[in-house]
Structure formats: C-alpha cells, structure tokens
Amino acid sequence: MRYKDSKGDPHGFCMFLTDHNMPQSLIIRYRGNRLHVLFKLAAVYVIHFDLIKKYLTGYCLHTSTLKTCLIEDFQNLNTLLELKVLALIGKLLTGPWIKRFYKNHEDGLHHLDAFSDIKRCSSRVEDLVSLDVIRIGGLKEDFFGDPIEKTDRAIWDEDVDIHDFSQVMKGVLNSTLEVIMRQYKTYFEMTWDDSTREKLSSARTHNMDSEEVMDMFSAMQERAPAATLLYISSKIRAKKTKTVNYLHKHPDSETVIMQAVPIAAKFRRKTQKSVADLQKEMSRRIIEKQQKKSQVDRKKMEKQVIELMSTADADLSLFPSHPR
C-alpha cells in the first residue's frame, strides 16, 4: 500500500480510503524500529481487516508480487491470529507503558519509582503466562493494573482458536519477560537511599531525549537557515543543560563567563588536534590499502600473462623477451 521498491499503490489506496470515509492517515508512516508502532499498526489491521482485504482483492489494480503476497496473508487464519496477539500486546503493555512513562518530567513518575511499576508489570505477565488457557474475555486489566477500555470489539472478540491463541500469546509474553529481565533485573535487586533519589530527581523515565534534540535541531534550522551547525549545536546544548538559566541566576555571571572562555578555547584546540590526527591516520590507512590493492591486481595480471604465454597457441611475438 505504501511504496516498497516501486511495488506499492499509495495513490490508489488513498482514493480507496477517501471513498470509504476513512482518514488517509489510517496507516501511520514511521521510519524506525519502535515496537509500539508495530503493535499500533497490528490493531489497525485487526479493526479494519475486512476493509483492507476488500481493497486488496477488488480495488487494487496494481499487479505485483507484493499484492499477491498480501492477499495470501490476509486469507490465512494464522495472519488474523498473529495480528490479534500483537494488537492485544499493544493494549495490555506498550500502550499503557507509553501512557505511564512517556511524559514530561514535571508530570511523570520519579525515575526510580518506574522500576517498581515495571517489576509489578512483569509479575502480572508471569501470572498470565502460568495459566493453562488464556481467554481474551478474561482480560480485564492491563499489565499495570489499570482497567481496560474495550472500545474496539474486533480486537476483543474471541474469533480465533483459543488453544492456538494461548500458545502464540504465551510465546510473545515469554519473550517480553526475557527482555524485561535482561534490561531491568539489576535495577530490581537494588536498594535506593534518599541521596540517590535526590540525584536522580531530574532523570526521565524514557529515552526520547535524543529524538527531542533532533526535533529541536530541525526546528532551529528551519527558523534560521543561514545558521551554522556549530551555532545550532551550541544553542541546543545550552538549552538542554540549562546553562543560560544558570548564568542568569548566578551572582557573578560575568566572572564565570570570562573563566569559561579560555577553558572552552583550550578544549576546542585539543578537539581540533584530535580530529586532525584522526584524519591523518585515516589518510595513511587509505593509502596503505590502495597500495595493497595495487599489488594484488599486479600479481593477478602477472599470473594471467604467464598462463597466456604457456598456452600452445599463444602469439609469442608479443613477448620478445620470453624464452622460446
């Protein structure tokens, strides 16, 4: 439906969505590897399963192997089963996870309190995996203990084989537990004192800072196209580290700035020297690789010439120095 190696039909799909009074943003476009996007898309496919199947089988005029594969997948009952499992993981785990942890620092949890919530979450996952049969209708709360709003009936209908569903669901949950324990087991076993809590009071409960910096960079570059990368980088760094606020509140900010200037200059000269040394070493290695490649090509050519001269029909007049 999107372009994939020039095999998709985005315009036709958008027209189909418009004709059926559906938003063109039904299938979100995202570049990256965020798993919650996968679970979100799985929920969309389950809710609009018949609609998408209708487009593929009757409305899509684009002929390609991609369309054929999608039709085969949407006619397979295992496809609906796997999509339903992924959609339920989004409703039970990743959706509540984002809602709980992906907040501004002022409105969110303390960084250390988040580990307690994750530990309770993993305990609920273990309890669900321990059941002989997992029934969709029996799921009343998410893995964080909050009640579930079952607004999308297609996700919560028990229209799949319950034993196959339990097997697939347990496999996904066991893998989820394995990842949680691998990443958070050390934190689960730690104890925190008041001083540690105070030191981590400004720590966030998510890892969106890097993406936030990229958004800030794009916004500043759009606002000031003529600004240099160094200027934008310095401004973002000052904003994120709250340097300007610190200087405004400092009683002797001018002295601090005058002391920081030579230190920053010294650090910059050191960085420039490191970059120059690195470039010099890279140039040396490139020249060395070129020489090795030239020697390999020369030996290969010499071997071919010797093999040619050793054949009976070789024109030895082309090689006057060769002994006849």
Tens digits of residue pLDDT in 40-91: 888 888 888 888 888 888 887 776 777 788 888 888 888 888 888 888 888 8
Per the domain annotation, does 81 fall within a domain? no
Q: How many helices (H) and strands (E) in the chain?
A: 14, 0
* Same domain, yes or no: 65 and 108: no
* Same domain, yes or no: 1 and 49: yes
* Same domain, yes or no: 64 and 108: no
* Same domain, yes or no: 189 and 110: yes
The SS3 of residue 313 is coil
Q: Which of 106-120, 246-260, 308-322 has the highest mean pLDDT?
A: 246-260
Structural domain ending residue among the three candidates 25, 56, 75: 75
pLDDT recorded at residue 54: 86
Residue 85: closest CA among 199, 202, 167:
167
DSSP 257-279: HHHHHHHHHHHHHHHHHHHHHHH
Read off the pLDDT band of 269 (50, 70, 90).
Answer: very high
Per the domain annotation, does 130 fall within a domain? yes
Backbone φ/ψ region at 76: left (φ over 0), alpha (ψ -120 to 50), beta: beta
Structural domain ending residue among the three candidates 75, 94, 114: 75
* Same domain, yes or no: 70 and 109: no
pLDDT recorded at residue 320: 57
* Same domain, yes or no: 60 and 119: no
pLDDT recorded at residue 2: 47
Per the domain annotation, does 121 fall within a domain? yes
* Same domain, yes or no: 155 and 62: no
* Same domain, yes or no: 68 and 113: no
Structural domain ending residue among the three candidates 27, 59, 75: 75
Per the domain annotation, does 200 fall within a domain? yes
Domain that holds residue 167: 103-204
Structure tokens at 107: 């409105």
Per the domain annotation, does 7 fall within a domain? yes
Is the per-residue pLDDT at 233 higher than 60?
Answer: yes
Per the domain annotation, does 270 fall within a domain? no
Structure tokens at 19: 């004709």
Q: What is the mean pLDDT of residues 175-181?
A: 88
Q: What is the mean pLDDT of residues 128-136?
A: 85
pLDDT recorded at residue 45: 87
Q: What is the mean pLDDT of residues 179-203?
A: 82
How far is 257 from 259, CA to CA, in rounded Å?
A: 5
Per the domain annotation, does 280 fall within a domain? no
Q: What is the mean pLDDT of residues 16-39?
A: 76
Cβ-based neighbour number of residue 209 at 10 Å: 10
Domain count, the chain: 2
Is the per-residue pLDDT at 305 higher than 60?
Answer: yes
